[in-house]
Structure 1
């Protein structure tokens, strides 16, 4: 199968999976495997196509993303969603990730 057709199919998979509560990366890997598209080229393509999806979302929601960086509401009485709230939501996951990053290696030792 030609690379253009594979890229088209993987682009459709990424576009559909990105906005669903499923792993778009997992689906890209699975469909790539089914199409025989594996190896370093496949990994590089998966990274590039994911960056494209992230860029598209950033362009689409740029006004919302910029408004999240507004620090003023932190000191105002109004309760608005801002970057501090994003930090509070992400911080526990970062701490857990840092604490548990070697857990796979520990599990393989048994």
Structure 2
């Protein structure tokens, strides 16, 4: 089942095989990233395929791509407050006045502490 709110907030999605290709790793490594909460996603589309927002992938030092390093800690903070993954993604992609943009943009810009403060303020 597709979440229309997320579809309007998140412009691009990646399936797990696509994520593995982008990161240049084995599929099992991507499954471990999901299990360890380093990256989150939702089942969406007609076939309810598990997908992650493409914005969670960033350039890696030395070339290639990686999962946004500050994502896991933020996901854990929000998860500890009882938010399910779909709501975490919604929060990350919804403009936050205290951040002058969306939390995911702030994370991608290196503003981890400000994002975590905003996340903790939700409690």
User: What TM-score do the two structures reach when normalised by structure 1?
Assistant: 0.21
More relative contact order, 1 or 2 (CA 8 Å, 6+ apart): 2
* Bigger share in strand: 2
Give the greater-gyration-radius structure (CA): 1
* Bigger share in helix: 1
